[in-house]
Amino acid sequence: MFQFFVNTEGGLTTAGYVLCIAAGIILFVAALIFAGRISEKKRMGTRQLVFCAMAMALAFITSYLKLFNMPWGGSVTLCSMLFIVLVANWYGPKTGILVGLAYGILQFIQEPYVLSLFQVCCDYILAFAALGVAGFFAKSKHGLLKGYIAAVIARGAFHALGGYLYWMDYMPDNFPKALTSIYPIVYNYSYLLVEGIITVIIISIPAVSKALNRVKQTALQ
């Protein structure tokens, strides 16, 4: 059954692409339903559709705007994680997790490589869904900042888990031998934390913070 969706080279078959696209659409619609329940009108509307879709689009676009690459692999993007975190901050963890799931499928479709179903979950599905945990901090003081930090840590945890299970054999030759046992942690958190620090600095700028608050108010109308 698994071979019906994945070819011998680890990529997706036509059926695999169809399944991923269908799953992404279903998850995105489910996210919109939850977003509608959070809004003042208590129903899904055009506004929630536009804001969730725009956030996903911006996350996808900025994920390809790489600022620089890290020495042992991984690249720092232009705040791409922030946009999924914003959805969670606007509409809560359920919507954030579902949009993250849909976004993870979108990322997977672009460059699919399958070793196992759980590997795909760790590298794409669960890792990006974890960005939705930011929604748990939405109502607290400095909720966006706290949520973003938690989201980065959560995403890295799933990537590191997948690294231990599937990617240890791909460790680069220039990686310090003394750190071999924590390679997946160092590899994944090196680029995630650098991007996280850059993003935290940006969203901590008063003008940016005020602008994001206004966007949130508009998203919830």
CATH code where residue 132 lies: 1.10.1760.20
pLDDT band for position 218 (50/70/90)?
A: very high
Domain range for residue 157? 2-219
Which residue did the predictor score with more confidence, 17 or 41?
Answer: 17
Q: Can you give the pLDDT at residue 23? A: 73
Neighbours of 209 (CB within 10 A): 15
Q: Which residue has the tokens 């607290």?
A: 140
| Spacing of C-alpha 114 from chain mean position | 18
Residue 95 has pLDDT above 50, yes or no: yes
Q: Which of 5-9, 88-92, 163-167, 206-210 has the lowest mean pLDDT?
A: 5-9
pLDDT in tens, 164-201: 999 998 898 889 989 999 999 999 999 999 999 999 99
Q: How many Å apart are CA 76 and CA 195, to the nearest integer?
A: 5
pLDDT in tens, 56-87: 999 999 999 999 999 888 999 999 999 999 99
Backbone angles phi, psi at 46, to 5 degrees: -60, -35
Residue 149 has pLDDT above 80, yes or no: yes
pTM: 0.87
The secondary element (H helix, E strand) that includes residue 66 is strand 66-69
139 CB contacts (<8 Å, ≥6 apart)? none
**Tokens found for residue 172:** 């680069």
Q: What is the number of domains present in the chain?
A: 1
Cα Rg of the chain, angstroms: 18
Q: Can you give the pLDDT at residue 31? A: 65
Q: Can you give the pLDDT at residue 113? A: 85
Residue 1 has pLDDT above 80, yes or no: no
Backbone angles phi, psi at 88, to 5 degrees: -65, -40
pLDDT in tens, 4-32: 666 666 666 776 567 767 776 776 677 66
pLDDT in tens, 129-144: 999 999 999 999 999 9
Q: Can you give the pLDDT at residue 40? A: 45
124 CB contacts (<8 Å, ≥6 apart)? 104, 105, 107, 108
Q: Can you give the pLDDT at residue 183? A: 96
